[in-house]
Amino acid sequence: MFEATVRDGVLRLRRPGTRWLSTGWDGGRSRGPAAYNVTVPEGFDRTDLGAYRDERLARAGFENGGGPARDGDAERDPPTLFTGVAMDHARGARRGPVVAYATAGLSNPAMLPMEPGGAAADRGDAVADDPEREPEATTEGPPRRPGTVNLTVGTTRRLADGAAANLVAVAAEAKAATLLATAGVPGTTSDAVVIADDPDGEPAAFSGSATPVGAAARVCVRDAVRASLRSRYPDGDLPGPAGDAEHGVVADGRAEVFDP
Protein backbone atom coordinates (compact mmCIF):
# COMPACT_ATOMS: atom_id res chain seq x y z
CA MET A 1 0.00 0.00 0.00
CA PHE A 2 2.86 2.38 0.87
CA GLU A 3 6.59 2.15 0.44
CA ALA A 4 7.86 3.08 3.92
CA THR A 5 11.47 4.23 4.22
CA VAL A 6 13.24 5.57 7.34
CA ARG A 7 16.49 7.47 6.93
CA ASP A 8 18.20 9.96 9.23
CA GLY A 9 15.18 10.50 11.47
CA VAL A 10 12.70 10.88 8.61
CA LEU A 11 9.91 8.45 7.71
CA ARG A 12 8.79 8.72 4.09
CA LEU A 13 5.53 7.08 3.08
CA ARG A 14 5.44 6.90 -0.70
CA ARG A 15 2.59 5.96 -3.01
CA PRO A 16 2.29 7.76 -6.37
CA GLY A 17 -0.93 9.65 -7.05
CA THR A 18 -2.16 9.58 -3.47
CA ARG A 19 -4.65 12.11 -2.14
CA TRP A 20 -3.78 13.53 1.28
CA LEU A 21 -5.67 15.36 4.00
CA SER A 22 -3.40 16.63 6.79
CA THR A 23 -4.26 18.26 10.12
CA GLY A 24 -0.61 19.08 10.79
CA TRP A 25 1.56 22.06 9.96
CA ASP A 26 0.68 23.61 6.59
CA GLY A 27 -2.07 21.02 6.37
CA GLY A 28 -5.09 20.67 4.16
CA ARG A 29 -5.75 18.71 0.98
CA SER A 30 -3.21 17.83 -1.69
CA ARG A 31 -2.32 15.15 -4.17
CA GLY A 32 1.17 13.78 -4.59
CA PRO A 33 3.51 10.82 -4.15
CA ALA A 34 4.74 11.11 -0.57
CA ALA A 35 4.19 12.24 3.02
CA TYR A 36 6.76 12.60 5.79
CA ASN A 37 7.14 12.29 9.55
CA VAL A 38 10.24 14.07 10.89
CA THR A 39 11.93 13.67 14.28
CA VAL A 40 13.07 17.01 15.72
CA PRO A 41 15.96 17.28 18.21
CA GLU A 42 15.71 18.10 21.90
CA GLY A 43 15.28 21.83 22.48
CA PHE A 44 13.92 22.34 18.95
CA ASP A 45 12.78 25.94 18.51
CA ARG A 46 12.85 26.56 14.76
CA THR A 47 9.87 28.44 13.37
CA ASP A 48 10.86 28.29 9.67
CA LEU A 49 9.40 24.82 9.35
CA GLY A 50 9.34 24.79 5.55
CA ALA A 51 13.06 25.46 5.34
CA TYR A 52 13.75 23.02 8.14
CA ARG A 53 11.76 20.28 6.40
CA ASP A 54 13.67 20.87 3.18
CA GLU A 55 16.99 20.59 5.06
CA ARG A 56 15.97 17.34 6.69
CA LEU A 57 14.63 15.78 3.50
CA ALA A 58 17.81 16.70 1.66
CA ARG A 59 19.97 15.28 4.45
CA ALA A 60 17.98 12.03 4.29
CA GLY A 61 18.22 11.87 0.50
CA PHE A 62 14.54 12.67 0.01
CA GLU A 63 15.05 16.15 -1.43
CA ASN A 64 13.02 15.46 -4.57
CA GLY A 65 10.23 13.88 -2.54
CA GLY A 66 9.20 11.82 -5.55
CA GLY A 67 7.70 14.98 -7.07
CA PRO A 68 5.61 17.87 -5.74
CA ALA A 69 2.23 17.64 -4.07
CA ARG A 70 -0.59 19.54 -5.71
CA ASP A 71 -3.71 21.37 -4.59
CA GLY A 72 -5.77 21.57 -7.76
CA ASP A 73 -3.41 23.03 -10.36
CA ALA A 74 -1.10 24.62 -7.79
CA GLU A 75 1.99 22.92 -6.42
CA ARG A 76 2.27 22.74 -2.65
CA ASP A 77 4.56 21.21 -0.06
CA PRO A 78 4.14 17.50 0.72
CA PRO A 79 2.29 16.64 3.95
CA THR A 80 4.85 16.73 6.78
CA LEU A 81 4.45 16.02 10.48
CA PHE A 82 7.00 16.73 13.21
CA THR A 83 7.64 14.91 16.48
CA GLY A 84 10.15 14.44 19.27
CA VAL A 85 9.76 10.65 18.95
CA ALA A 86 12.62 8.86 17.22
CA MET A 87 11.63 7.12 13.99
CA ASP A 88 13.05 3.90 15.43
CA HIS A 89 9.70 3.75 17.26
CA ALA A 90 7.50 4.15 14.17
CA ARG A 91 5.14 1.22 13.71
CA GLY A 92 2.61 0.23 11.06
CA ALA A 93 -0.50 -1.95 11.10
CA ARG A 94 -2.59 -3.25 8.19
CA ARG A 95 -6.10 -4.70 7.93
CA GLY A 96 -8.20 -5.08 4.78
CA PRO A 97 -8.16 -1.86 2.73
CA VAL A 98 -6.42 0.21 5.44
CA VAL A 99 -2.92 0.74 6.79
CA ALA A 100 -1.89 3.02 9.67
CA TYR A 101 1.52 4.28 10.74
CA ALA A 102 2.07 5.74 14.21
CA THR A 103 4.78 7.41 16.26
CA ALA A 104 3.70 7.73 19.87
CA GLY A 105 5.27 9.69 22.72
CA LEU A 106 3.52 10.99 25.83
CA SER A 107 5.86 13.56 27.38
CA ASN A 108 3.24 16.31 26.93
CA PRO A 109 -0.17 14.81 27.77
CA ALA A 110 -3.34 16.85 27.24
CA MET A 111 -5.83 15.89 29.95
CA LEU A 112 -9.55 16.58 30.12
CA PRO A 113 -10.93 15.78 33.58
CA MET A 114 -14.60 14.95 33.82
CA GLU A 115 -14.80 16.74 37.18
CA PRO A 116 -13.23 20.21 36.66
CA GLY A 117 -11.61 22.01 39.58
CA GLY A 118 -9.65 19.08 40.93
CA ALA A 119 -6.00 18.69 41.80
CA ALA A 120 -4.82 20.38 38.61
CA ALA A 121 -6.68 23.56 39.51
CA ASP A 122 -5.20 23.44 43.03
CA ARG A 123 -1.73 23.38 41.47
CA GLY A 124 -2.57 26.43 39.41
CA ASP A 125 -1.87 24.61 36.14
CA ALA A 126 -5.34 24.77 34.70
CA VAL A 127 -7.43 27.59 33.31
CA ALA A 128 -10.69 27.60 35.23
CA ASP A 129 -12.08 31.13 34.97
CA ASP A 130 -10.47 32.85 31.97
CA PRO A 131 -11.31 31.10 28.66
CA GLU A 132 -9.06 33.51 26.75
CA ARG A 133 -5.92 32.26 28.49
CA GLU A 134 -4.06 29.30 27.12
CA PRO A 135 -3.41 26.34 29.43
CA GLU A 136 0.02 26.35 31.02
CA ALA A 137 2.43 23.45 31.18
CA THR A 138 1.98 21.25 34.25
CA THR A 139 5.69 21.31 35.03
CA GLU A 140 8.64 23.56 34.39
CA GLY A 141 11.88 22.39 32.93
CA PRO A 142 14.12 22.47 29.86
CA PRO A 143 12.85 23.37 26.39
CA ARG A 144 10.16 21.01 25.22
CA ARG A 145 10.78 17.98 23.10
CA PRO A 146 7.14 17.18 22.42
CA GLY A 147 6.29 13.51 22.30
CA THR A 148 3.29 13.76 19.99
CA VAL A 149 1.13 10.97 18.61
CA ASN A 150 1.34 11.29 14.82
CA LEU A 151 -0.86 9.09 12.65
CA THR A 152 -0.97 8.46 8.92
CA VAL A 153 -3.99 6.38 7.90
CA GLY A 154 -4.19 5.25 4.29
CA THR A 155 -6.78 3.31 2.33
CA THR A 156 -6.93 1.82 -1.16
CA ARG A 157 -10.53 3.09 -1.42
CA ARG A 158 -11.50 6.39 -3.04
CA LEU A 159 -13.00 8.40 -0.22
CA ALA A 160 -15.72 10.97 -0.71
CA ASP A 161 -14.74 14.36 0.69
CA GLY A 162 -16.91 13.88 3.74
CA ALA A 163 -15.59 10.36 4.29
CA ALA A 164 -11.99 11.60 4.24
CA ALA A 165 -12.78 14.31 6.78
CA ASN A 166 -14.72 11.84 8.94
CA LEU A 167 -11.81 9.39 8.90
CA VAL A 168 -9.78 12.03 10.78
CA ALA A 169 -12.38 11.81 13.55
CA VAL A 170 -12.44 8.00 13.45
CA ALA A 171 -8.63 7.85 13.74
CA ALA A 172 -8.57 10.42 16.56
CA GLU A 173 -11.28 8.51 18.44
CA ALA A 174 -9.36 5.25 18.12
CA LYS A 175 -6.16 6.96 19.27
CA ALA A 176 -7.91 8.48 22.30
CA ALA A 177 -9.53 5.17 23.26
CA THR A 178 -6.17 3.40 22.98
CA LEU A 179 -4.27 5.99 25.00
CA LEU A 180 -6.94 6.19 27.71
CA ALA A 181 -6.85 2.42 28.14
CA THR A 182 -3.05 2.31 28.02
CA ALA A 183 -1.86 5.49 29.73
CA GLY A 184 -4.91 7.27 31.14
CA VAL A 185 -4.69 10.25 28.77
CA PRO A 186 -6.59 10.87 25.50
CA GLY A 187 -3.73 12.52 23.62
CA THR A 188 -0.95 15.09 23.71
CA THR A 189 -0.75 18.80 23.01
CA SER A 190 0.58 18.34 19.48
CA ASP A 191 -1.09 15.28 17.93
CA ALA A 192 -1.79 15.24 14.19
CA VAL A 193 -3.44 12.99 11.61
CA VAL A 194 -2.85 12.52 7.89
CA ILE A 195 -5.46 10.67 5.84
CA ALA A 196 -4.51 9.13 2.49
CA ASP A 197 -6.73 7.58 -0.16
CA ASP A 198 -6.52 6.30 -3.75
CA PRO A 199 -8.31 8.53 -6.28
CA ASP A 200 -8.56 5.52 -8.60
CA GLY A 201 -9.80 3.07 -5.98
CA GLU A 202 -13.22 1.59 -5.29
CA PRO A 203 -15.43 4.44 -4.06
CA ALA A 204 -16.37 4.74 -0.40
CA ALA A 205 -19.05 7.29 0.44
CA PHE A 206 -18.74 6.78 4.20
CA SER A 207 -15.99 5.97 6.68
CA GLY A 208 -17.79 5.57 10.00
CA SER A 209 -16.93 2.86 12.50
CA ALA A 210 -19.47 0.45 10.98
CA THR A 211 -18.01 0.69 7.47
CA PRO A 212 -15.17 -1.53 6.17
CA VAL A 213 -12.81 1.45 6.02
CA GLY A 214 -13.72 2.87 9.41
CA ALA A 215 -13.68 -0.45 11.22
CA ALA A 216 -10.30 -1.37 9.76
CA ALA A 217 -8.91 2.10 10.55
CA ARG A 218 -9.87 1.79 14.22
CA VAL A 219 -8.10 -1.56 14.54
CA CYS A 220 -5.03 -0.38 12.65
CA VAL A 221 -4.69 2.82 14.70
CA ARG A 222 -5.08 0.93 17.95
CA ASP A 223 -2.47 -1.67 17.08
CA ALA A 224 0.02 0.76 15.54
CA VAL A 225 -0.19 3.13 18.53
CA ARG A 226 0.20 0.30 21.03
CA ALA A 227 3.17 -1.10 19.13
CA SER A 228 4.86 2.31 19.00
CA LEU A 229 4.27 2.80 22.74
CA ARG A 230 5.77 -0.60 23.50
CA SER A 231 8.84 0.36 21.49
CA ARG A 232 9.10 3.84 23.03
CA TYR A 233 8.48 2.64 26.60
CA PRO A 234 9.75 -0.97 26.70
CA ASP A 235 9.57 -1.13 30.49
CA GLY A 236 5.94 -0.03 30.49
CA ASP A 237 6.79 3.15 32.40
CA LEU A 238 4.36 5.42 30.57
CA PRO A 239 4.15 9.10 31.51
CA GLY A 240 0.63 10.24 32.23
CA PRO A 241 -1.59 11.75 34.88
CA ALA A 242 -0.17 9.42 37.54
CA GLY A 243 3.40 9.58 36.24
CA ASP A 244 6.05 12.24 35.80
CA ALA A 245 5.23 13.66 32.39
CA GLU A 246 7.68 16.41 31.52
CA HIS A 247 5.06 18.72 30.05
CA GLY A 248 1.34 18.82 29.60
CA VAL A 249 -1.88 20.75 29.91
CA VAL A 250 -5.17 20.26 31.72
CA ALA A 251 -8.40 21.72 30.34
CA ASP A 252 -9.93 22.23 33.77
CA GLY A 253 -12.37 25.06 33.13
CA ARG A 254 -16.15 24.96 32.91
CA ALA A 255 -18.18 26.05 29.90
CA GLU A 256 -21.55 27.78 30.01
CA VAL A 257 -24.16 25.14 29.15
CA PHE A 258 -27.53 26.15 27.71
CA ASP A 259 -30.45 24.91 25.65
CA PRO A 260 -30.36 25.89 21.95
pLDDT (average), residues 164-171: 98
pLDDT (average), residues 203-226: 98
| pLDDT more than 90, % of the chain | 70
Question: Amino acid identity, residue 18?
Answer: T
DSSP for residue 136: P
Report pLDDT for 250.
85
Q: Bridge partners of 188?
A: 109
What is the distance between the terminal CA atoms of the chain, rounded to a whole angstrom?
46
Each residue's pLDDT tens digit, 149-160: 999 999 999 999
Domains of the chain: 3-250 (3.60.70)
Task: Identify the CA nearest to 167 among candidates 17, 14, 22.
Answer: 22
**From 111-115, 131-135, 189-193, the region with the lowest mean pLDDT:** 131-135
Task: Identify the CA nearest to 90 among candidates 27, 167, 151.
Answer: 151
**Does position 238 have pLDDT exceeding 60, yes or no?**
yes
Report pLDDT for 141.
39
Q: Is 91 helix (H, G, I), strand (E, B) or coil?
A: strand
Rounded to the nearest 5 degrees, what angle is found at the Cα of 128, between the Cα atoms of 123 and 24? Answer: 95
Task: Identify the CA nearest to 183 among candidates 117, 98, 106, 81.
Answer: 106
Higher pLDDT: 68 or 59? It is 59
Report pLDDT for 247.
74
Query: Which pTM value belongs to this model?
Result: 0.87
Phi, psi of 195 (to 5 degrees): -105, 135
Instruction: Name the average pLDDT for the chain.
Output: 86
| 200, HSE (Cβ side, Cα atoms, 13 Å) | 4
**Cβ(95)–Cβ(77) below 8 Å:** no
Report pLDDT for 174.
98
**From 22-31, 105-114, 138-147, 189-198, the region with the lowest mean pLDDT:** 138-147
Report pLDDT for 72.
60
DSSP-assigned states of every residue in 191-248: -EEEEEE-TTS-EES--STTSHHHHHHHHHHHHHHHHHHHHH-TT----STTTT-SS-
pLDDT (average), residues 94-123: 83
